[in-house]
């Protein structure tokens, strides 16, 4: 196993960023970021003069409030450094040391920030993927719902409502990890906003399927938001003025049209790829899961694990075809699924034929290189 620790995953990310650096230094147009995470920072010129420690939040939090409520619903809004930071702050605020939580998600695995935060408190982390496993008691501190997973598996609306009901019957608050879901669920599946279905807190990532900075935007019941906000400030997890300003401008610009347009585009891409690879559809793109990739390679002798193999393929896609995917650039614990998101801004500059050609060429290259572990090491880390 090559990517056998969070440290090695960080090394792989560093190598990927080095490749991106050399491509982007020549021309940003050389790169096709199809992750669906764009990290836009659409500040206005005058905003820059206000990015001060106290004037910044005083001005931009006032602007953020109505925009955040419009996007997520709820009573009070909080901006956080990342979605991960918001999940950590919420768990620190709402779960007792050694306490008990239930976490529903449509499919494993969870984003690592949730189990790792619970571990800090020595709290029990009961992860469930089926409603039949749902048991909330008066001893439960918090119910967490991941509404759309890292691979964009999306919860059904009836499950969503049932979990909230079960939690509220025991007076247990519900926190929704709506990182991509706040847009995927509402735009693609026409579901209500999490807070409109009765959830107590919801957090979304402002760079997933919208052109904002990588940051967390939370809303919910004012009293709970206040508790999370206090914890966030104690541990330095809140968004600083530049981020808050970036979120404000991104919310002003937000338009679900690109998400809507991606749906027909991905259907075509899926149709053309389904016989060639074991690809699956996502709400706005296609994905090649690490286990399916191994299945396609079962005639090849290799000691590599599925996540190594998807990492190598992602690095080949980046190096040879300028395509950025999460298994190349993701942080430790990110999903090993190669997901091509047609709602990405850069997808507009790349046609389906080019994408298919890049996948075929990269896959053939992968077939050759996985026989040689040292070569794979070089591809991942150098």
Ligand X SMILES: *Cc1c(COP(=O)(O)O)cnc(C)c1O
**Contact residues for ligand X, defined by CB under 6 A:** 82-84, 111, 113, 146, 149-150, 177, 179-180, 205, 214
What is the residue whose two structure tokens read 């190669």? 338
Q: Dihedral sign, CA of 104, 201, 212, 234?
A: negative
Give the end-to-end CA distance of the chain in Å, rounded to a whole number.
17
Tell me how far, at minimum, the Cβ of 66 lies from ligand X, in Å. Answer: 23
Strand partners, 129: none
Tell me how far, at minimum, the Cβ of 87 lies from ligand X, in Å. Answer: 7
Tell me how far, at minimum, the Cβ of 140 lies from ligand X, in Å. Answer: 21
Nearest CA to 378 among 292, 301, 319? 319
Which residue's CB is nearer to ligand X, number 84 or number 307?
84
Which residue's CB is nearer to ligand X, number 149 or number 307?
149
User: CB count, 10 Å around CB of 211?
Assistant: 19
Helix axes 83-94, 113-120, angle to 10 degrees: 30
Tell me how far, at minimum, the Cβ of 326 lies from ligand X, in Å. Answer: 9
Cα gap 304→154, rounded to integer Å:
30
Nearest CA to 254 among 316, 190, 310, 187? 187
Which residue's CB is nearer to ligand X, number 37 or number 323?
37
Which residue's CB is nearer to ligand X, number 56 or number 213?
213
Cα gap 219→196, rounded to integer Å:
11
Tell me how far, at minimum, the Cβ of 70 lies from ligand X, in Å. Answer: 21
Tell me how far, at minimum, the Cβ of 330 lies from ligand X, in Å. Answer: 9
Query: Counting runs of H as helices and runs of E as strands, what totals does the chain give?
Result: 14, 12
Segment (H or E) for 77: strand 76-80
* E-only strand ranges, 178-293: 201-205, 216-220, 280-282, 285-288
Which residue's CB is nearer to ligand X, number 109 or number 192?
109
Which residue's CB is nearer to ligand X, number 180 or number 262?
180
Which residue's CB is nearer to ligand X, number 83 or number 362?
83
Tell me how far, at minimum, the Cβ of 278 lies from ligand X, in Å. Answer: 22
Question: Which DSSP letter does residue 176 get?
Answer: E
């Amino acid at each position: 196993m090559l990517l056998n620790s969070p440290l090695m995953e960080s090394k792989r990310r560093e190598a990927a960023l080095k490749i991106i650096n050399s491509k982007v230094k020549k021309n940003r147009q050389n790169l096709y970021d199809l992750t669906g995470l764009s990290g836009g920072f659409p500040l206005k010129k005058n905003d820059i003069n206000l990015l001060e420690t106290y004037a910044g939040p005083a001005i931009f939090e006032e602007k953020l409030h109505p925009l955040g409520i419009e996007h997520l619903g709820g009573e009070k809004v909080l901006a956080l450094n990342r979605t991960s930071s918001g999940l950590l702050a919420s768990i620190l605020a709402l779960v007792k040391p050694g306490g008990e939580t239930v976490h529903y998600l449509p499919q494993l695995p969870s984003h690592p920030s949730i189990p790792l935060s619970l571990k800090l408190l020595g709290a029990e982390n009961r992860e469930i993927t089926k409603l039949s496993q749902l048991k909330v008691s008066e001893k439960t501190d918090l119910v967490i719902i991941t509404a759309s997973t890292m691979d964009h598996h999306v919860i059904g609306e009836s499950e969503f409502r049932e979990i909230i009901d079960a939690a509220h019957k025991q007076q247990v608050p519900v926190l929704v990890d709506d990182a991509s879901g706040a847009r995927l669920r509402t735009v693609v599946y026409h579901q209500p906003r999490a807070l409109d279905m009765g959830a107590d807190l919801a957090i979304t990532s402002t760079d997933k399927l919208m052109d904002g900075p990588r940051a967390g935007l939370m809303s919910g019941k004012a009293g709970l938001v206040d508790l999370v906000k206090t914890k966030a400030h104690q541990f330095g997890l809140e968004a600083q003025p530049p981020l808050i300003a970036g979120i404000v401008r991104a919310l002003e610009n937000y338009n679900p049209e690109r998400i809507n347009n991606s749906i027909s585009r991905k259907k075509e891409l899926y149709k053309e790829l389904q016989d060639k690879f074991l690809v699956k559809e996502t709400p706005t793109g296609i994905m090649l899961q690490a286990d399916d990739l191994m299945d396609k390679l079962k005639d090849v002798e290799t000691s590599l694990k599925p996540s190594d193999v998807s990492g190598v393929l992602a690095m080949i896609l980046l190096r040879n075809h300028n395509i950025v995917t999460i298994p190349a650039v993701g942080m430790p614990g990110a999903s090993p699924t190669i997901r091509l998101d047609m709602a990405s801004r850069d997808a507009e500059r790349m046609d389906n034929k080019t994408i298919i050609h890049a996948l075929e060429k990269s896959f053939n290259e992968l077939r050759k290189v996985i026989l040689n572990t040292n070569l794979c090491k070089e591809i991942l880390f150098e």
